[in-house]
Amino acid sequence: MPKYSKQQVEDIFHAQDRNHDGKMFNSEVMITLKKNGMNVEPADVKKHMAKFDASGDGYLQIDEFVNLVMALFP
């Protein structure tokens, strides 16, 4: 798996945030990862979402999403 730059991950987030609310739920995160060739197990996404959801709202904001992707694909 190629390493992604922060800018690439932010661009991926913005492209998938179609309603422009600035956040993604876990199912959206999973779809986004798969659409971009980032194959990861749903259990790993859940585990990392719990770790990187700093606000604890069940959604990932852009910075949280970037941190999750960078952790999954160092």
Enter the pTM of the model.
0.88
Tens digit of each residue's pLDDT (9 = 90 or more) over 13-55? 999 998 899 999 888 999 999 999 888 888 888 888 889 998 8
Q: What is the pLDDT of residue 42?
A: 87
pLDDT at 2: 61
Give all strands (DSSP E) within 12-67, no chain letters.
23-25, 59-61
Interior CA angle at 15 toward 33 and 20, to 5°?
A: 115
Task: Tell me how far apart the alpha carbons of residues 33 and 57 are, in angstroms, rounded to a whole number.
Answer: 20
57-74 pLDDT, tens digit each: 889 999 999 999 998 888
Amino acid letter, residue 41: E
Predicted local distance difference test score (pLDDT) of residue 4: 87
- Token couple for 4: 């992604």
The Cα–Cα gap between 4 and 6 comes to 7
Q: Which CATH class is domain 6-72?
A: mainly alpha
Q: Domain residue spans in the chain?
A: 6-72
